[in-house]
Homo-oligomer: A and B are copies of this chain.
Amino acid sequence: MSKIGFIGLGKMGAAMATNLIKAGHELTVYNRSPEKAEPLVKLGATRVERPDQVVQSGGVVMTMLTDDKALDEISWGEHGFGPNLGPGVHVSHSTIGPDTARRLAERHREQGGHYVACPVFGKPEAAEAAKLWIATSGGVDAKRRIASLLVALGQGSYDFGTDEGAAHVVKLAGNFMFAAAIEAMGEAFTLAQQNGVERQQIYKMFSETLFNCPAYKAYGSMIASEHYQPVGAPPALIRKDVRLVQELALSSNVPMPLANLIQDRLTSTIARGDQDIDWCGFAREISRSAGL
């Protein structure tokens, strides 16, 4: 079992850290709002005051933060853990742009360290149940070193080579595909409803047959019932992800009209004040556009 520094105890991070402790790992945790560390401390984790205290040179740090900027600051800002980590491994679970990852990897490399991209797929419930799916990329040895840690978090992992940006590309593409499934169900169910078929009925058939997969089940039930609770992730958080998708698409010259449509839905959702619903509630915009 390993000693791990863990930074970022939001819904996802807290669930992941809990599973690491349960699996026998020894955790030192940091979170900007310290009270979120309480439950983990009760389970045996050590709480520290500053990010640079979570790790000693050559150790392992896992991070699960909101966005590129937050990860940059926690790593290399004031009291960032980066300098302390030295030749250790930074296991990065956040949803960020691949260029940020490549830049961070370079800085770790400069002091003999490693960055392993390990973004995760799954809602907070999946994180709690250790049912996440993980995409990885980065240096071969570093990935080998941390492989056993990932076992505590999920059902399995898929590797995408040595480019530290690659797994983050996969994560962004995957979030886009989730969003596309939401848009598809939203349009399809609204069409059905306005033509005499109940939303729940059509959802039942498709989710049991042709679309009987986690992505459609994770959101379809909310879209069918139009009850967008509980909040796995709010619209503003995912709009950040889709913005990363759009920026990546722009920089690599890939027109993505469906990503644009989804971003506009999220923007409308936020503009109308629907901020405290699950992000799949952008399907409500489809109903509204049909006068419902």
A290 at the interface (CB under 8 A from B): yes
Assess whether B257 is in contact with A264, with CB atoms less than 8 Å apart.
yes
- CB closest chain-B residue, reference A202: B170
Assess whether A264 is in contact with B260, with CB atoms less than 8 Å apart.
yes
Assess whether B133 is in contact with A209, with CB atoms less than 8 Å apart.
yes
Assess whether B253 is in contact with A291, with CB atoms less than 8 Å apart.
yes
A23 at the interface (CB under 8 A from B): no
Assess whether A135 is in contact with B205, with CB atoms less than 8 Å apart.
yes
**How close is A265's CB to chain B, nearest CB, in angstroms?**
8
Interface residue tally of chain A, by bracket?
A: 35 or more
**How close is A283's CB to chain B, nearest CB, in angstroms?**
12
A160 surroundings in chain B (CB, below 8 A): 197, 201-202
Q: Are A250 and B243 also in contact (CB < 8 A) when A165-B195, A188-B177, A289-B255 are?
A: yes
A161 surroundings in chain B (CB, below 8 A): 196
Interface residues of A (CB under 8 A from B): 98, 121, 133, 135, 155-156, 158, 160-161, 163, 165-166, 169-170, 172-174, 176-178, 180-181, 183-185, 187-192, 194-197, 201-202, 204-206, 208-216, 239, 243, 245-246, 248-250, 252-261, 263-265, 267-268, 270-273, 285-286, 289-292
